Amino acid sequence: MAETFLEKFSRFMGSNPSLGKVADDLQLTSELILLVRMIFADGELKPEELDAFKRICASAFNLNEDDIPGVLQYLKDFGYETTAWDAAAMFAEHDRERKKALLLHLLRIAKSDGHLDRSEAELIRKTAGVLGLTAEDIATGGNR
């Protein structure tokens, strides 16, 4: 008997604890979608940006680096219709510190290759606008 999609998905998630964590948390999924969009904002996948993404996943979200390929596949398969603006809007009600952390993660990825591309800066600027933050908020630690 052929395995159903749901059975395949459940089996896949069971072998990847980080994937289960991401799939169960819409805000985490949204944040990761934004971070992945930053990796590709300048039109190319650079190893330094992917490495920065992996480090953020491990340090900020406690995701296992070995699980990242499965997490990326999940985001591709299930987050493809989510725009960067939809993902950023998930954070509209969060406190300033959480919003600031999101922008700093985006900036860390954007600058990881030693160059801040115009499209990367625009993604950060627009995301900050959706979140109601300014460059000053980031520079001053978000305290107003």
On whether residue 105 sits in a domain, the answer given is yes
Give how far the C-alpha of residue 44 lies from the chain's centroid of Cα atoms, to the nearest Å.
Answer: 16
Is there a domain that residue 7 lies in?
no
Domain presence at residue 57: yes
Domain holding 60: CATH number? 1.10.3680.10
Structural domain includes residue 4: no
Task: Identify the domain containing residue 126 by its residue range.
Answer: 22-139
| In-domain check, residue 128 | yes
Supply 81's token pair: 């219709």
pLDDT the model gives residue 104: 93
Say how many domains are in the chain: 1
Task: Flag whether 2 is in a domain.
Answer: no
> What is the average pLDDT value for the chain, to the nearest integer?
84
Instruction: Say how far apart CA 83 and CA 96 lie, in whole Å.
Output: 22
Q: Is residue 77 part of a domain?
A: yes
Residue 60: predicted pLDDT = 95
Low-confidence residues of the chain: pLDDT under 70: 1-15, 139-144
The pLDDT of residue 22 is: 87
> What pLDDT was estimated at residue 2?
62
Residues 6 or more apart whose Cβ sits within 8 Å of residue 115: none
pLDDT over 90 for what percent of the chain? 44
End-to-end alpha carbon distance in the chain:
61
The reply to whether 14 falls in a domain is no
